[in-house]
Amino acid sequence: MFFWLVGLLALGLVLLLGALSLYRDWQQEQQLQTQRRNFYQVQLKEVLETTLRAVELDTVRLATSPLLQRHLLHPSTNTLELLQEDYVSLARLRPSYDQIRLLDINGHESVRINRSGKDVYQVPADALQNKAQRYYTAEGMKLAPGYTYLSPLDLNIEQNEIEVPFKPVLRMVHPVYRHTQLRGLVVVNYRAEELLQQLNNHLPAPLHPILLNDKGQWLHGGDQQDWQFMFEPQSGLAVEEPSLWQQMASQDFGQLTLGQDCLLYSWTAYGSQQALSPRWLIGLRESGKACNALTKQYQIHAAGLLGTTALAGFLLLFGWHRLRLKHLQLYHRLLINEQQLRLVTNEMGNGVIMIDAQGLTRWLNPEAERLLGWQEKEILGRCLHDIIHVTAEGENLDREECLTTHAIRTGQRQHRERDYLCTREGIIIPVSMTVSPLPKSESGGAVITFSDDREKVTAEKKLRRQAETDELTGYLNRRAILQQLEQVIRTDTEFGIIMFDLDHFKSVNDTYGHAAGDQVLIEYTRLARELLRPHDCVGRIGGEEFLLVIKHLHLNDLYQLAERVRESMDHHRCIITGHTLHVTASFGLAMHQRGESPGALLARTDKALYQAKNTGRNQVIADDSLKPASVDT
């Protein structure tokens, strides 16, 4: 009896230990499965957010560009052609943009750029359409300054017909205001095939992305039901499974079984604070596997374990061996799942780094190794912030300004369009960075994704230079030269300005035409530039009026410089269509007084120029308020 009692107690202890081991294995695999699904869910949202943010930035830049404001103020064929060239350049840079349009206040297309395959072309004026009746035009006309409207995802319609083959399109709309008056809309049609393909690429088999609109209609992942609502409005998951859809619509996130598949979903909308965006249900479908399949699988295992009590001691060793083997199999599956996660991140185009709750590196993918120049084995267990996170000037970034610190502390996803990382070779690269915190209940930490933005920064600098340059002379335009003037005043540097105006320039235009006048402006401003130092600034502030900002010269030297420029122009002869033109200029100059505003300085200089004009022209007049006795004007 004692033997059986001991045997039963031993058997019971073994069974209890086996059940606890099986329960822990179930918890580990359930946790890994949840982490895996949540990771992919975060990736899908990141793809959607990053793509739409890039489209919004382009749309806002077009709607607020100085060139468009100039065209609205002084409409002309020249400014319209420049707008068309700007839109064509952007369309060639973004192959996913199907159309870029500028609509006037009546909804009529002023500019339209179309894409046909790889070709980008401007639609002629006689083929432009009125889009006042389209829903996105009506929504765009309601927008306040600074707000953007993102349309629902649907199929493109031309001439009231759905285009074939199907062309999924998102329309980003931004209003064009001049001061407080609405003047029109900029509409960018984003071809969403690229977005949907990216969603597919971020999931390994047997996972597939799903995307539905807020009416329960399939946009992606519904096989034959995708886009069915464009032809049959009463269709989709909300119609076919109303109870399931009601459950999904009432929860921000969750999972449920649909047929033989498990759906993991969450509601999302484009996250810009000034963007009016539709809500989408985004998630993933695991084919052929119910959401509770793992639990049922372990329930079967538990039932089998209890059944072994009938075999008593004879099967005790066999049962122990089976449990041990099962444990090893589960551990192997955990390793395989971790390798799958690494494989997915290794194939991503962005750098990916995982850190623990203390900010220490756990792993990074090959793209991160390539961009940063560090091998994974060299920085495992090290604090990456202290090694690579810097300011734009290359100084160590304060931890309070670090996205990763904010994400771990608040538990909220953080994103910054412009951040800076230092490579192993000391090269500072601009990046777009996102930090997604991991649940604290699962050891915490964060996943950092970043992309190399050096090409984007170069393109932005090029566009900024174009916006600051006078198109005719190649020097600074009015806005840019006045900004230079304000910047010099803030540095408290001794400086002066020279303002000159070509004499009788209107007669040149009237007699020889505006093309001849343009040549005169180009030649005479070149004469001025040749006599200046490299760091002196030249800008066109009017038709034939120019401003020079000269640092580190006293009034006498400034006056002598103006005289040299005037004499060079007086001696120059310009050959125009067989005619020799003698064009002179009048000059006004003034030194900046401490505490003086830009407007006051310009007013004094303009007064001196006015005096030079009215007392004979072709002369230099210095402002009287600071002119020493040795300066003879």
Q: Please tell me the least confidently modeled range out of 19-33, 135-149, 558-572, 607-621.
A: 19-33
Distance CA 252, CA 266 (A): 6
For the segment 612-616, the average pLDDT, to the nearest whole number, is 94
- What share of the chain in percent tops pLDDT 90? 50
Tokens 């890039």 -> residue: 54
pLDDT, position 454: 83
Q: List, in order, residues 6 or more apart from 452 with CB less than 8 Å away.
A: 351, 371, 429, 431
**15, pLDDT greater than 90:** no
pLDDT, position 309: 67
pLDDT, position 549: 95
Cβ atoms of residues 566 and 587 within 8 Å = yes
**346, pLDDT greater than 60:** no
Q: List, in order, residues 6 or more apart from 627 with CB less than 8 Å away.
A: 555, 633
**310, pLDDT greater than 80:** no
Taking only the tens place, the pLDDT of each residue in 215-250 is 999 999 888 889 998 889 888 899 989 999 999 999
Q: List, in order, residues 6 or more apart from 208 with CB less than 8 Å away.
A: 200, 221, 284, 285, 287
pLDDT, position 633: 41
pLDDT, position 316: 65
Q: How far is CA 49 from CA 139, 198, 416, in A?
A: 21, 12, 12
Distance CA 169, CA 434 (A): 26
Taking only the tens place, the pLDDT of each residue in 414-462 is 898 888 998 988 889 899 899 998 887 656 788 999 988 888 877 777 7
Distance CA 271, CA 539 (A): 41
Give 497's pLDDT tier (boundaries 50, 70, 90). very high
Kindly state the tokens that stand for 478.
């009015």
102 burial level (CB within 10 Å; 0-12, 13-18, 19+): buried
pLDDT, position 303: 79
Distance of CA 233 to the CA centre of its chain: 34
Q: What length is written for the chain?
A: 633
Taking phi first (over 0 means left), then psi (-120 to 50 degrees means alpha), and beta for anything else, what does residue 11 get? alpha
Cβ atoms of residues 177 and 171 within 8 Å = no
Distance CA 72, CA 124 (A): 20
Q: Please tell me the least confidently modeled range out of 12-16, 126-130, 553-557, 590-594.
A: 12-16
Peptide bond into 95 cis (omega under 30): no
**209, pLDDT greater than 80:** yes
Kindly state the tokens that stand for 521.
């402006």
Give 21's pLDDT tier (boundaries 50, 70, 90). confident
Say which amino acid occupies 604: R
Round the CA-based radius of gyration of the chain to a whole number and report it.
35
Secondary structure percentages of the chain, helix, strand, coil, to 5: 45, 25, 25
Taking only the tens place, the pLDDT of each residue in 128-156 is 999 999 999 999 999 999 999 999 999 98
Give 632's pLDDT tier (boundaries 50, 70, 90). very low
**330, pLDDT greater than 60:** no
428 burial level (CB within 10 Å; 0-12, 13-18, 19+): middle
Cβ atoms of residues 66 and 331 within 8 Å = no
The closest alpha carbon to 581, from 503, 528, 529, belongs to 503
The closest alpha carbon to 583, from 539, 632, 522, belongs to 522
Instruction: For residue 254, give the 3-state DSSP assignment.
Output: strand
**468, pLDDT greater than 70:** yes
Average pLDDT, the chain: 87
Kindly state the tokens that stand for 279.
């809500």
- DSSP conformation class of 532: S
- What share of the chain in percent tops pLDDT 70? 92
Taking only the tens place, the pLDDT of each residue in 522-537 is 999 999 999 999 999 9
The closest alpha carbon to 190, from 288, 105, 96, belongs to 96
pLDDT, position 394: 82
Give 3's pLDDT tier (boundaries 50, 70, 90). low
**631, pLDDT greater than 50:** no
Give 287's pLDDT tier (boundaries 50, 70, 90). confident
pLDDT, position 630: 42
What pTM was estimated for this model as a whole? 0.47
pLDDT, position 62: 95
For the segment 591-607, the average pLDDT, to the nearest whole number, is 94
Give 631 or 193, the one with higher predicted confidence. Answer: 193
Peptide bond into 145 cis (omega under 30): no
Taking only the tens place, the pLDDT of each residue in 252-275 is 999 988 888 899 999 998 876 778
Task: Determine the number of helices (DSSP H) and then strands (DSSP E) in the chain.
Answer: 19, 28
**334, pLDDT greater than 50:** no
Tokens 């970043």 -> residue: 450
Distance CA 191, CA 98 (A): 6
